[in-house]
Amino acid sequence: MSSKSHRREQKRAKILLKEVRKLQKRYASNLAEQHQKSLQDAIQALDNAMRGGGDIAEVALKLEQIAGKLFAPYRKSTFREYAESIAIAIAIALLLRTFVIEPFKIPSGSMIPTLEIGDHIFVSKFSYGLWLPFTQKKIRLGSGPKRGDVIVFVYPKNPDKDFIKRVVGLPGDSIKVVSNTVYLNNKPLTAKRGKKYTYREREQPDSLPIEQVCRVYYENLKGVKHRILIDESQPSKLSNWNSSVEAKQIERSWGPKVPPGYVFVMGDNRDHSSDSREWGLVPVKNIKGKAFLVWLSFGGGQGFRWDRVFVPIQ
């Protein structure tokens, strides 16, 4: 026998010994005494052969036959092994989705330019708290949402929908929007004017993309710098939000300041976003987590976007 073949037989025998000894340790006590002895003799014979005392292949085959006969009632079928592996993988995935990270897909342009249509994102569920499985209760963690956080939450008007927006106002804050300038506690947020920004929006799945031309502004949200879009082509119905009918109706429901347990949210695409200016505040208990990463991007009439793979969300 060549040295290469000998090494191959040695390797196979080593694996066989490891597997048989594992079965022996677990199930040998269930075997009759004579069967335990025959098994041990076969193990010792293979061990001796591997040390240079016989034909490894022949001795290994004998051990394999004895072990196969003795442990047949205890060995799992291939189907059962695969089924158990799949079940464990599914359980781990469900635990991760429930307690750690959940994936979402961005269906609209309300968060452009931060998030594009077709972005696939990861949301950290550890950021503010954990939903208890099969309940509507939540365990609070950390200090709660901060200004500038991009959050995914259960839409207050329809619990079957998830929305994604940026936190602008925290409990105790007063909010006004005048000519697309946000006033936080009566002080305007600074926003530096940038370049024009063109994107495509789809209103219906079977319609052609609608091209929108807006202007990028760099807003400073109390130290959190991020980009927003302003549509300068026409006045927005929400650009003077503090004097709008929506604002008066919403403010009557929660007063001049954001109350405890709520946040005020806005989309970064300010003139094309349905947010707290339109339907009110978000209960903190509705927040699912903080969006932190774009891991894949495809859609919005632009195909696959390599430049948006594994992009942190700011």
The predicted-structure confidence for 223-257, as pLDDT tens digits, reads as follows: 999 999 998 886 665 666 676 666 666 666 666 78
For residue 164, the model assigns a pLDDT of: 96
Identify the weakest region by mean pLDDT among 102-111, 120-129, 177-186, 261-270: 120-129
Provide the residue ranges of all domains of the chain, joining segments of one domain with +.
Answer: 3-71, 101-312
CATH number for the region 3-71 comes to 1.20.1270
Full-model pTM: 0.67
Whole-number Å distance between alpha carbons of 156 and 162: 9
Give me the architecture of the 101-312 domain, per CATH: Ribbon (2.10)
Residues 6+ apart with CB under 8 A from 199: 109, 112, 113, 116, 117, 211, 212, 214, 300
Task: Please classify residue 57 by burial: count the beta carbons closer than 10 Å to its beta carbon, then call 0-12 exposed, 13-18 middle and 19+ buried.
Answer: middle
> Of residues 146, 165, 176, 288, which has the active-site annotation?
165
Say how many Å lie between the first and final Cα of the chain, rounded. Answer: 65
Q: Is 37 a catalytic residue?
A: no
Chain segment 109-158, per-residue pLDDT in tens: 899 999 998 899 999 877 776 656 555 566 665 668 999 999 999 999 99
101-312: same fold as 3-71?
no
Chain segment 2-17, per-residue pLDDT in tens: 677 778 888 888 888 8
Q: Is 290 a catalytic residue?
A: no
The token pair at 172 is: 């105790």
Query: Which amino acid does the sequence have at 118?
Result: G
Adjacent-strand bridge partners of 123: 102, 291
